[in-house]
A and B are shown apart, each in its own frame.
With several copies, the nearest count.
Chain A
Amino acid sequence: MQPLSAIVQMFHVYKTFDDNYRALIDINLRIEKGEFLFLVGPSGAGKTTLMRLLFREERASSGQIIVYGRNINKIKAGRIYQLRRKIGVVFQDFKIIPTKTVFDNVAYVLQVLGQPKSEIERKVYAALNRVGLEKRMDHYPKKLSGGEQQRVAIARAVVNDPVLLLADEPTGNLDADRAHEIMKLFNDINLHGTTVLMATHNIGLVGKMKKRAIYLREGKIAHC
């Protein structure tokens, strides 16, 4: 129905929380397939909330959201995993499983898909290598530094070449060099066809990358 070139479309989306706090107001947004888009805005603007809507961690209060050709409001609870498997997410608070090693955390995304062991190993090695954590593979997350944990989260998000990558402040705990490497990684992935939506405060990064950026302020889109 909608043009195949759009991977995300949001029509008049509102999100109001229980306490009547309006986190998102009348969001209209279209992300093209293969695009690299920044989501910028001050603390509390609604960046994380917008991303949460895209993989149905939260539901929109009103409005329609279409991801990869499906109206995600209409997906049944038992089928949400199908949506999520197409989307890689770097969570702002990492969300690493504390009882699994670094390797197992990254591998879990592939195990869920029932991929054979040898392929899982190959892919996980590659992903950890890309973020510079191949030596930390057998450690439990508690023993890692903040930046290392963030890189585990990044490795997990990209390990299966998702159709859509949502990265929420993925360089907040990384030094400039590391941050630059990660941006290169995202760029690579983007060139291989993954659509990337990245929320960040780092205006410097946004400037350097020369990509489209959306400005959120108090739940509303300011620029486009």
Chain B
Amino acid sequence: MLIARIRQILYFLHQGVKNLSVGGISAIIAVTSITCSLLLICLYFIISSHLTKAFDLEKDIRVVLYLKESVSKNRIEPLQQKLTNYEEILGIKYVSKEKALEKFHHILGEDAIILEGLNNNPLPASFEIELNHEAKEINRLKSVLHQWEVLPEVESVQGGVEWIEKLSGFIIALRISLCFLGGILIIISLFIIASTIHLTIDNRRDEISIMRLVGATDWYIKLPFLFEGVIEGILGGTLAIFLFWVFYEVLRWRITPCLQLIFNFSEINFLTMKQIFIVLLVGGVIGGGGSLLSFFLQSFQHR
């Protein structure tokens, strides 16, 4: 019984491969359609992961705590200790009044001449704080900043909230747009594949109706097509990944210099193993699913 089952499945697989090789141009078209669709999905993956990276400006999230003029030097150390205990803090740096003036001098550049007329240093001492990823969550950031604002040593807290608010809004918008684009691409892909396989099977409608007439069950007819679809899908996926890799290798050297100019990362990474696996899986699923779908359409058309 089990052996008979296995023999049957092997038979279906064999038929699937045979159909593929008999299918000729139809099979080639099905495979290349799937390849095109999956190429779009690869493109989506790579754009998606790098765009997120481009705007995920981890180290730029900084906050400055300006200290009151009255805070004496020996109270700096314990305050820094206290702040370091906050788990949201990734790094902290004390900037003394003198250091601040130096920096300001540097920032002004040519205009620094105006500082020549100064009698005393008007700039306050401060802590420059770098926040870790968790703090980017806007509400958490607000609450932490509020705690720091009411510290007796702190004059004012600068930066952070508005910028983060803007940025996270942008990232959300970007994510939504990308999901949207990805969704459209997947729908288009599915459509193309279902159409192609539909046409391919439509090409064989006589064959299928003959099989029915000589006593084949529906599943006996369907399974080889299903396997054929899955094999075509996986072939298409493999081809897509290969082509995308070629494409990637060719373009990498051209795009990289431009990138550094605009974004703050300088290298494009290829798809991860997980993404490659997903592409192959999606290929197999849409190949097989397309077969089933078009078989379903078929049965409506020719009953």
User: Touching in the complex, A and B, CB below 8 A?
Assistant: yes
Q: What total of A-B pairs shows CB separation below 8 Å?
A: 45
> B4, B19, B214: which contacts A84 (Cβ < 8 A)?
B214
Question: B interface, how many residues as a size bin?
Answer: 20 to 34
When distances are taken between beta carbons in the complex, the residues of chain B under 8 Å from A204 are: none
- CB of B142 closer than 8 Å to a CB of A: no
In the complex, the answer to whether A112 meets B22 with C-beta atoms within 8 Å is: no
Query: Is the C-beta of B117 less than 8 angstroms from some C-beta in chain A?
Result: no
Q: Does A98 contact B (CB under 8 A)?
A: yes
B215 at the interface (CB under 8 A from A): yes
> Known: A78-B218, A111-B11, A112-B220. Contact between A97 and B207, CB under 8 A?
yes
- Render A79-101 as a binary contact track against B, CB cut-off 8 A, 1 for contact: 00100110001010001111100
Q: How many residues of A contact B (CB 8 A)?
A: 21
Interface residue? B216 (CB, 8 A):
yes
B22 surroundings in chain A (CB, below 8 A): 99
Residue contact A112 to B213, C-beta cutoff 8 Å: no
Chain B residues closer than 8 Å to A114, beta-carbon distance: 4, 7-8
A188 within 8 A of B: no
A-side contacts of B217, CB under 8 Å:
81, 112
Chain B residue with the shortest CB-CB distance to A96:
B210
Task: Determine the residue in chain B with the shortest Cβ distance to A160.
Answer: B215
> Which A61-115 residues sit within 8 Å CB-CB of chain B?
77-78, 81, 84-85, 89, 91, 95-99, 108-109, 111-114
Chain B residues with CB under 8 Å of A138's CB are none
- B211 at interface by CB-CB < 8 Å: yes
* A186 neighbours in B (Cβ, 8 Å): none
**B93 proximal to A (CB < 8 A):** no
B204 contacts the other chain (CB 8 A): yes
**Identity of the chain B residue whose Cβ is nearest the Cβ of A99 in the assembled complex:** B22
B207/A108 in contact, CB under 8 A:
no
**Complexed CA–CA distance, A191 and B303 (Å):** 36
Q: Please measure, in the bound complex, the distance between the C-alpha atom of A57 and the C-alpha atom of B218, giving whole angstroms.
A: 15
Q: Which of B8, B204, B215 contacts A109 (CB 8 A)?
A: B215
A156 within 8 A of B: yes
- Is A38 among interface residues, defined by CB-CB distance under 8 A? no
Contacting pair B210 A85 (CB below 8 A) = no
Q: A84 near B218 (CB under 8 angstroms)?
A: no
A62 to chain B, nearest CB (A): 20
Rounded to whole angstroms, the CA-CA distance of A113 and B214 in the bound complex is 11
Most chain B C-beta atoms within 10 Å of own C-beta, residue among A78, A96, A114: A114
Contact B213 A108 (CB under 8 A): no
Residues of B within 8 A of A99 (CB): 19, 22, 204, 207
Residues from chain A with a CB closer than 8 A to the CB of B210 are 95-97
Interface residues in B212-267 by Cβ distance below 8 A to A read 212-218, 220
| CB of A36 closer than 8 Å to a CB of B | no
Whether A112 and B207, one on each chain, are in contact in the complex, defined by CB atoms closer than 8 angstroms, is no
Confirm or deny: A14 has a beta carbon within 8 angstroms of a beta carbon on chain B: no
CB distance from B280 to the nearest CB of A (A): 28
Interface check A55, CB cutoff 8 A: yes
- A108 and B216 contacting across the interface, CB-CB below 8 Å: yes
**CB under 8 Å from chain B, chain A span 161-188:** none
> Is the beta-carbon distance between A57 and B213 smaller than 8 angstroms?
yes
Task: Tell me whether A95 and B216 are in contact (CB under 8 A).
Answer: no
- Which of B8, B11, B204, B213 is A95 in contact with, Cβ under 8 Å? B213
Q: What chain A residues lie within 8 Å of B4 (beta carbons)?
A: 114
Contacts of A84 in B (CB 8 A): 212-215
Q: How far is the CA of A108 from the CA of B216 in the complex (A)?
A: 9
User: Could you list which residues of chain B lie within 8 angstroms of chain A, going by C-beta atoms?
Assistant: 4, 7-8, 11, 19, 22, 204, 206-207, 210-218, 220, 303
Other 16 A-B pairs with CB < 8 A, given A85-B215, A111-B11, A114-B8: A81-B212, A81-B215, A81-B216, A84-B215, A89-B213, A91-B213, A95-B206, A95-B213, A96-B210, A98-B207, A99-B19, A108-B214, A109-B214, A112-B216, A114-B4, A114-B7
* 17 CB-based A-B contacts, threshold 8 Å: A77-B303, A81-B212, A81-B215, A84-B215, A89-B213, A95-B206, A95-B213, A98-B207, A99-B204, A99-B207, A108-B214, A108-B216, A109-B215, A112-B214, A112-B215, A114-B7, A114-B8
